Structure 1
Amino acid sequence: MNTWKWHEHVITRAGVVAGCAALVLATVGPGAQAQPRDLGRQTLGGNDGWGAHGTGTSGGAAADAEHVHTVTTWAEFKDALAAGGTAPKIIKVKGTIDAVAEGCDAFAADGYDFDAYLAKYSPERWGLDTDLSAEPDDSPEGLRRVSAAHQSEAIKVSVPADTTIIGVGRNAGIKGASLQITRVDNVIIRNLTFESPVDCFPQWDPTDGSTGNWNSEYDSAVVYGSTHVWLDHNTFTDGEHPDSAAPTYFGMLYQQHDGELDIVRGADYVTASWNVFADHDKTILVGNSDSESTAAGDRGHLKVTFHHNLFSDLVERAPRVRFGQVDSYNNHFVADDTYAYSFGIGKESQLVAEHNAFTLPDGVSAAKVLKKWNEAPVTAAGNHVNGVATDLIAVHNAELPGETLQSGAGWTPTLRTKVDPARAVPAIVDHRAGAGRLR
């Protein structure tokens, strides 16, 4: 357990909340005015989802003044993440900072030419039987790999342990970046609009499916093997680069986005609350592979809570779950005509989806809300679809008898804040979720 010296008292992470309160009270005396609370020092509530388990999540709440940074550029943001070694830190983002302000050309390797890439690897010329992994470094694919490596180095940043990253005011955001929360403990991300990174150099894989496919990299945020993470009042969106505006090459969408949030590789004790996930295809993964090598590290982990989030105009994966005990309650799902499913029931998953609200367009059945990928039990009680109480498992099994789901995830969530009735969820969530609405 981490300990820090603060105002001549040694406190544990569990005591951070009390310590912060004491600091505020100390500023108030006869004739004095209470100082406005510092949102950067807020911690996750004691019963607020899996992130509250054990030591809880306090991020950089114990940072001293030297380790509180306000940043307005991508360079300043990266410097702030690296500053101070292992000391707790608070990074306040002011305005929108852009990781790709110079554009994709800034990452391109000398000699890279997209037209040459298309000409060489077209199905008519290359075929669909051989992938591009053996292509030499001076080939169009080799130059694409070098270009992709340049972008990866530029836009990926590692978030250290005991860190809070918070947007200042209503218009703070990070554009085109990928936050890597990798094998650390105790991180808070709040009040930021994330515009999904655009992969400048997607790879064509002729062997992906029967017709080949474009594959891209970069999630807005990746929680990889980390513990005690709180993502709150953020907005995740494709922004200026929606998939609907992407071109088609070789008969397939030129896909330049990956996910908005991935929680993978044994990550644990994560709470995602009051966020907006919007305008995206493959949105959230909890567990990224069915492979036995991955499963060994995921079994018993991937404990995640989603509550009071707005999932708007998404295609799929909200989330897709493997292995984890995932609690999803009081979320609002708003679909459009591209909708495929919300909850993906994956290998050895134990999903509890309760008291959620779904707004589906005409012609889209509630049977699509749950998607069975593997045999795994699910609890789905108290949900409403278009304002009507709906047994999601029953309607799924009735309309899709070849994909029968088993009821009963085998566990009962206890780490919950107030559970609102499903009928009230749209009004509550739509008006309070997302960046710029942090109270």
Structure 2
Amino acid sequence: MLAPDDGWAAAEGGTTGGAAADAAHVHTVHDRAGLVRALDGGSDTPKIIRIAGTIDVNTDDRGRRLTCADYATDGYDLSAYLAAYDPRTWGPARPSGPQEDARRASAARQAERVTLKVGSHTTLVGLGRDAVLKGASLQVADADNVIIRNLEVRDTYDCFPRWQPNSGGLGDWKAEYDNIWLRGSTHVWVDHVTLSDRGRPDAAEPTYFGRNYLRHDGLLDITNGADLVTVSWSRFAEHDKAMLIGNSDSRVSDRGKLRVTLHHNAFEDIVQRAPRVRFGQVHVYNNRYVVPGDAHDYRYSIGVGTESAITAENNAFTTPAHVEVADLVKSWNGTGLQQRGTLFNGFPVDLLAIHNAYNSGSERDLVADVGWTPSLHGPISSAATADREVTRHAGAGRVR
């Protein structure tokens, strides 16, 4: 159960997950079929689901491993898809026609297997040190009071990415599934999880139409008016876009929502979005950021988006020489960032002052007044202390 002061998920009644479950709704599951039965279609019945060992969701009802070829239908073929929608001949229009229809149908077949709906009043917890969901997309949609703990969710892999000709100006591949997606949900605590592309990194994928053939989307996205969320003692690793909070600049209905606390998390070899925020009041404290020496694709860590109100305190960044302090923060139409206690390669820095000094002319200056002061939090350690504690204790299998 979440402590009374442990971030935004402790507000307005707190978060208890499946604590009210009766004996008939406490399950230990070992395979996809058992997990699906226990989730009960995302019902709101209080339930505790304990995951034992590794569960691969790309399996059929008898447990047989499914490959992308098993999902392909209606004549879908990647080579034919690439030939049909080559920008040199197809142009900038959105793909349409038989191969795009076949891709959609094939994607729908995979979605039936890999997307798992988590309903209200649910605790999903791994047993011991080696509980793994492989290939799964946990979707907490329009639910309330959910706990996800002590669980590794890895390689949420899209067999059928779609080509978006106009994305980013050059076009891009779009994968469909987040490891965990909180959408329109409230009172959610994510604790001691490990999220990554482990086993199948996008960097190893081929290039088509001049763009990396991305197979993974976000690690943990919090969108569509989700609110009162705490993410703690978790590990985000070896991925491009780690965490999106708020999905659109135009979604003004998100105002007053997207209140999120991130503390004692490790962001290791993450290219961007750790997190990227729109609208929400987000408290980012005592986190550890590590950019490896060979990570030349690193873009930024904290993204200050439209009407976001981020307070970042006592976070530690370790980077190679080619990454500068000014690279850590990116303004995406945001106006404010309150920060203090930041360590950069062991030295104290002022993220706000350095961002404004080095990005003048290319991004708007940020101000320190974000209109609120965090009050729901436990003890806040120095960045150096947090760096050591997160190294030892963050991630699945490390619950104390």
Provide the C-alpha distance between the structure 1 equivalents of 2:167 and 2:261, rounded to a whole number of angstroms.
33
C-alpha deviations, 1:270-324, integer Å up to 9, x for none? Answer: 0000000000001101000011xx222x000000000000000000000000000
- 1:199-214 aligned at under 5 Å gives the runs 199-214=158-173
SS at structure 1 position matched to 2:80: helix
| TM superposition shift of 1:83 | 7.5
In the other structure, the counterpart of 2:94 is 131
Are 2:41 and 2:117, in contact at CA under 8 Å, matched by a contact in 1?
Answer: no
Q: Does residue 73 of structure 2 align to residue 115 of structure 1?
A: no
With a CA cutoff of 8 Å and minimum separation of 6, indicate the structure with the bigger relative contact order: 2
In the other structure, the counterpart of 1:301 is 257
Cα 1:242–1:93, aligned 2, differ >3 Å: closer, same or farther?
Answer: same
Cα 1:92–1:425, aligned 2, differ >3 Å: closer, same or farther?
Answer: same
Are 1:196 and 1:260, in contact at CA under 8 Å, matched by a contact in 2?
Answer: no
Provide the C-alpha distance between the structure 2 equivalents of 1:187 and 1:146, rounded to a whole number of angstroms.
31
Which amino acid letter does the alignment assign opposite residue 51 of structure 2?
Answer: V
C-alpha deviations, 1:176-214, integer Å up to 9, x for none? Answer: 111110111100000001103111001112222433221
Which amino acid letter does the alignment assign opposite residue 274 of structure 2?
Answer: A
- 1:73-222 aligned at under 5 Å gives the runs 73-82=31-40, 85-100=43-58, 101-127=65-91, 129-132=92-95, 135-136=96-97, 139-222=98-181
1:411 to 328, 352, 372: 372
| TM superposition shift of 1:93 | 0.2
- 1:32-51 aligned at under 5 Å gives the runs 43-51=1-9
> Larger C-alpha radius of gyration, 1 or 2?
1
Are 1:74 and 1:99, in contact at CA under 8 Å, matched by a contact in 2?
Answer: yes
In the other structure, the counterpart of 2:385 is 424
Provide the C-alpha distance between the structure 2 equivalents of 1:241 and 1:67, rounded to a whole number of angstroms.
35
Provide the C-alpha distance between the structure 1 equivalents of 2:44 and 2:239, rounded to a whole number of angstroms.
35
Which amino acid letter does the alignment assign opposite residue 288 of structure 2?
Answer: H
Provide the C-alpha distance between the structure 2 equivalents of 1:48 and 1:57, rounded to a whole number of angstroms.
10
SS at structure 2 position matched to 1:125: helix
Provide the C-alpha distance between the structure 2 equivalents of 1:375 and 1:76, rounded to a whole number of angstroms.
45
In the other structure, the counterpart of 1:255 is 214
Q: Which runs of 5+ in 1 are unaligned?
A: 1-42
SS at structure 2 position matched to 1:257: coil
Provide the C-alpha distance between the structure 2 equivalents of 1:248 and 1:377, rounded to a whole number of angstroms.
37
Which amino acid letter does the alignment assign opposite residue 300 of structure 2?
Answer: Y
C-alpha deviations, 1:352-371, integer Å up to 9, x for none? Answer: 00011111111210111110
Are 2:137 and 2:179, in contact at CA under 8 Å, matched by a contact in 1?
Answer: yes
Are 1:67 and 1:84, in contact at CA under 8 Å, matched by a contact in 2?
Answer: no
Are 2:230 and 2:260, in contact at CA under 8 Å, matched by a contact in 1?
Answer: yes
Provide the C-alpha distance between the structure 2 equivalents of 1:258 and 1:84, rounded to a whole number of angstroms.
22
In the other structure, the counterpart of 1:389 is 348
C-alpha deviations, 1:51-70, integer Å up to 9, x for none? Answer: 00011000001212111000
Are 1:196 and 1:219, in contact at CA under 8 Å, matched by a contact in 2?
Answer: no
Higher mean displacement: 79-88 or 322-331: 79-88
Task: Give the TM-score normalised by the residue count of structure 2.
Answer: 0.95
Provide the C-alpha distance between the structure 2 equivalents of 1:359 and 1:109, rounded to a whole number of angstroms.
46
Cα 1:428–1:277, aligned 2, differ >3 Å: closer, same or farther?
Answer: same
Kindly report the root-mean-square deviation, in angstroms, between the aligned alpha carbons of the 2 structures: 1.2
Task: Give the TM-score normalised by the residue count of structure 1.
Answer: 0.87
2:244 to 285, 297, 300: 285
Provide the C-alpha distance between the structure 1 equivalents of 2:72 and 2:322, rounded to a whole number of angstroms.
45
Provide the C-alpha distance between the structure 2 equivalents of 1:400 and 1:90, rounded to a whole number of angstroms.
48
Are 2:42 and 2:118, in contact at CA under 8 Å, matched by a contact in 1?
Answer: no
**Percent identical:** 51
Cα 1:85–1:281, aligned 2, differ >3 Å: closer, same or farther?
Answer: closer
In the other structure, the counterpart of 2:270 is 314
In the other structure, the counterpart of 1:374 is 333
SS at structure 1 position matched to 2:33: helix
Cα 1:84–1:143, aligned 2, differ >3 Å: closer, same or farther?
Answer: closer
Provide the C-alpha distance between the structure 2 equivalents of 1:418 and 1:116, rounded to a whole number of angstroms.
57
Aligned length: 389
1:327 to 278, 283, 301: 283
Provide the C-alpha distance between the structure 1 equivalents of 2:170 and 2:46, rounded to a whole number of angstroms.
50
Cα 1:425–1:151, aligned 2, differ >3 Å: closer, same or farther?
Answer: same
Q: Does residue 314 of structure 2 align to residue 355 of structure 1?
A: yes
Provide the C-alpha distance between the structure 2 equivalents of 1:385 and 1:254, rounded to a whole number of angstroms.
33
